[in-house]
Amino acid sequence: MTLNEILMSLEIGFIYGIVAIGIYLTFRVMDFPDLTCDGSFALGAATTGTLIKWGFNPWLSLLISILTGMVAGILTGLLYARFKVTNLLAGILIGFMLYSVNLRIMGGIPNISLINNETIFGQMPLAILIAIGLIICVLIAYLLMTDFGLSLRSIGQNKRLAQNSGINVNLLTIIGLALSNAIIALSGALFSQHQGFADVGSGVGTVIIGLAAVMIGEKIMPYKSILVQITSCIVGSMIYRLFISFALHSDLLGFTTSDLNFITGIMIIIIMYIPTQKRSSIC
């Protein structure tokens, strides 16, 4: 692997590390297996790609993408909390419908090229991604240590006890899903600007990649500190992306890009087999 390939892997790893933070919120903090994320990722990409094509400021397009992801999370939460649809089915339904929504946003075109269009990435894309990633890590860690965050965590630990303690479980679930999908939509928007295109199918496999990053991070950084746990999502994502790049570029292994799903599946199986030991907080 060349230096440019390593840097590219780290950049993509940072983007999917933001996805992993969103998935960490639902799967780990809230104990809510949200499958909206595939659609939310593509929604962020479709929104920012279309807006940039229309001449919008690329930073403004990121903000609007965050809002669209938030709406997707709210809809999933409403299906679950108000219409009593199971959490898995609620996410599947919204993610399924988002495919048509994304295609509509893109004007019926499955792929939009952003070549020769202004994006947030200049000469130092990795530095920009590191800055964005660190800001998100600190903000989410701080949020989870507030009263709101403690209530959100209590829902994941024992929903019935939280409800008996006077916590509005339905409202917090909707807010948590909105926050998670907003973060994932942001990562989709970043991916679109970084790669120079928006594709309606770019969200396929997002939940698997995000979960792989979360699990890798938990094995490597098994500490109880909230900030460390969130940071481990990005670290796990970068390690995952570097491993994938190494596997695809290795002549000895003989893998091709068509083997990506197979490699990811094997990685997750191995990671799940390795026991995790929680260590005391280091920060």
Can you say whether residue 195 is alpha, beta or left, with left for phi > 0 and alpha for psi between -120 and 50 degrees? alpha
- The residues spanned by each domain of the chain are 3-273
**52-68: average pLDDT:** 97
Amino acid type, 273: Y
279 strand-pairing partners: 223
Predicted local distance difference test score (pLDDT) of residue 8: 92
The CA distance from 97 to 267, in Å, is 30
Q: What is the pLDDT of residue 267?
A: 82
Helix boundaries (H) for the chain: 3-23, 37-53, 58-81, 87-105, 125-144, 147-157, 159-164, 169-195, 206-220, 226-249, 260-273
Question: Which of 37, 32, 29 has its CA nearest to residue 73?
Answer: 37
Q: pLDDT for 151-209, tens place per residue?
A: 999 999 999 999 999 999 999 999 999 999 999 999 999 999 999 999 999 999 999 99
CB-neighbour burial class of residue 146 (10 A; exposed 0-12, middle 13-18, buried 19+): exposed
Reply yes or no on whether the pLDDT at 281 is more than 50.
no
CATH number of 3-273: 1.10.3470.10
pLDDT in tens, 97-141: 999 999 999 999 999 999 999 999 988 899 999 999 999 999 999
As a whole number, the mean pLDDT across the chain is 92
CB proximity list for 84: less than 8 A, separation 6 or greater: none
Residue 104 in tokens? 């509509």
Q: Are 106 and 50 in contact (CB under 8 A)?
A: yes
